[in-house]
């Protein structure tokens, strides 16, 4: 991990078919809300299979700042949290600006202690990502929220159950409101809730803690508040986005890769699209085999909330489209500025046109050639690594600190499959 931390650039030489098998790690987007949920109880909470990423390390530091006792055993990927002595309710700007998920501590703090404050959360620049869904829900539950120059101050003597309608199925908003409702007095309903697997996982943890919840994993969640929650022990579910990245890599390099520790239902949207594009996908319990079959076919994806195609995989799938025969299209329905990576792909020779910031047309197959490019966010960084795998010559990817936020050992894992890839 030391080399990855110090390095600023990834170098990839294309033209190698990927073969072998790779173990998929725990999902960052499941680990972060699970860690925040520990604030709902004064008992010890234990998480296994936690990915060692910048974001999980930042969340650990944030919980320590608030007063929690946190032990992160990175070698065994285990985190122990005890929030019995919380003495602060403010999330410091230097941590919040590094990770959007830092705002997830607001719901638990407000529900258990009646107070929370935070600056606007940071993270990847993907367009407009307001927290108005969270704030509107907190207000409906009885919180007083003051907006200051530095962010938001939230207070409530006690949260009360309410009927909440979300204007859009926000992933983070659903998690925040779900956690806040567990200790609220009365019954809360969340309509148009997000349904991602990571939210279902959070719901299972909260139920283990003693929360009374039904409907998690559907657009309609009901929560009956309780007075107290207990500790939990859980193992983070597999990262469907990491799995998808390696699956796409196998297809575009005409390789054959087995992904271990993968959930078939969570991968369904990608599985359909890989097969539609001409790749072979086979399943055996928790292992997924992806095999390239030579020619890839143009296709269309629409990035939507689950069970739609994951927005976090559309950049990676764009690389497949550059190698597919015909005209492919991407429609980004979640974020309004997630196609900025197109300019970096174009530096490598991709025939890609962005329309109205949320639609892209890609003509292929196109011969990509190595160049110097920059990762603009986590997923565009993965996109450029994949592009480097099929580009002629050498591709150098800068700003790889973004990749460290979402992919653990990405260089080592690709190298184990035969890729010519290293840190600089």
Catalytic sites, residue numbers: 124
Burial of 339 (0-12, 13-18, 19+ CB in 10 A): buried
Helix or strand or coil: residue 409? Answer: coil
What is the Cα–Cα distance from 227 to 91, expressed in whole angstroms? 25
**H or E element in which residue 414 lies:** helix 410-416
For residue 18, give the DSSP letter.
P
Q: In sequence order, what are the beta bridge partners of 144?
A: 155
Handedness of CA 357, 119, 121, 209 (dihedral sign): negative
Are 23 and 260 within 8 A, CB to CB?
A: yes
Are 98 and 76 within 8 A, CB to CB?
A: no
Handedness of CA 69, 6, 95, 99 (dihedral sign): negative
What is the Cα–Cα distance from 265 to 287, expressed in whole angstroms? 12
- Which is nearest to 269 in space by CA: 230, 308, 213? 308
For residue 289, give the DSSP letter.
E
Please enumerate in sequence order all residues whose Cβ is within 8 A of that of 177, keeping only pairs 6 or more positions apart, or say none. 107, 133, 134, 137, 138, 164, 166, 188, 190
What is the Cα–Cα distance from 289 to 240, expressed in whole angstroms? 14
Q: How far is CA 79 from CA 204, 233, 237, 252, 413, in A?
A: 18, 10, 14, 36, 23
Structure tokens at 35: 């860690």
Structure tokens at 309: 């195609």
Are 318 and 289 within 8 A, CB to CB?
A: no
What is the Cα–Cα distance from 239 to 250, expressed in whole angstroms? 17
Helix or strand or coil: residue 196? Answer: coil
């Amino acid at each position: 991990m030391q080399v990855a931390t110090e390095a600023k650039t990834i170098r990839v030489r294309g033209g190698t078919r990927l073969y072998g098998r790779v173990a998929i790690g725990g999902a960052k987007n499941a680990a972060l809300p699970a860690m925040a949920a520990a604030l709902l109880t004064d008992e010890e909470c234990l998480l296994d299979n936690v990915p060692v990423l910048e974001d999980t390390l930042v969340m650990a530091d944030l919980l320590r700042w608030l007063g929690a006792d946190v032990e992160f055993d990175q070698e065994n990927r285990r985190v122990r949290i005890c929030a019995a002595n919380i003495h602060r309710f403010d999330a410091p700007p230097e941590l919040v600006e590094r990770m959007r998920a830092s705002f997830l501590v607001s719901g638990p703090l407000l529900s258990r202690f009646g107070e929370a404050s935070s600056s606007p959360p940071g993270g990847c620049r993907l367009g407009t990502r307001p927290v108005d869904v969270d704030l509107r829900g907190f207000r409906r539950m009885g919180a007083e929220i003051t907006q200051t120059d530095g962010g938001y101050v939230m207070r409530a003597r006690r949260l009360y159950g309410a009927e909440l309608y979300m204007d859009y199925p926000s992933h983070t908003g659903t998690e925040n409101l779900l956690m806040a409702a567990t200790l609220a007095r009365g019954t809360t309903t969340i309509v148009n809730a997000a349904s991602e697997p990571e939210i279902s996982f959070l719901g299972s943890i909260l139920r283990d803690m003693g929360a009374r919840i039904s409907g998690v994993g559907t657009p309609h969640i009901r929560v009956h508040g309780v007075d107290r929650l207990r500790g939990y022990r859980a193992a983070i579910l597999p990262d469907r986005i990491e799995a998808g990245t390696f699956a796409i890599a196998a297809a575009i390099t005409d390789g054959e890769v087995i992904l271990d520790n993968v959930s078939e239902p969570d991968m369904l949207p990608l599985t359909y699209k890989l097969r539609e594009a001409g790749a072979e996908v086979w399943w055996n319990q928790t292992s997924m085999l992806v095999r390239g079959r030579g020619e890839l076919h143009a296709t269309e994806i629409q990035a939507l909330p689950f069970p739609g195609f994951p927005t976090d995989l559309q950049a990676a799938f764009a690389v497949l489209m550059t190698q597919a025969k015909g005209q492919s299209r991407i429609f980004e329905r979640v974020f309004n500025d997630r196609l900025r990576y197109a300019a970096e792909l174009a530096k490598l020779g991709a025939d890609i046109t962005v329309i109205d910031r949320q639609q892209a047309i890609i003509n292929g197959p196109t011969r990509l050639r190595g160049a110097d490019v920059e990762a603009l966010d986590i997923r565009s960084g993965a996109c450029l690594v994949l592009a480097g795998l099929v580009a002629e010559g050498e591709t150098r990817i800068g700003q790889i600190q973004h990749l460290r936020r979402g992919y653990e050992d990405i260089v080592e894992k690709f190298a184990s499959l035969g890729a010519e890839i290293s840190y600089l």
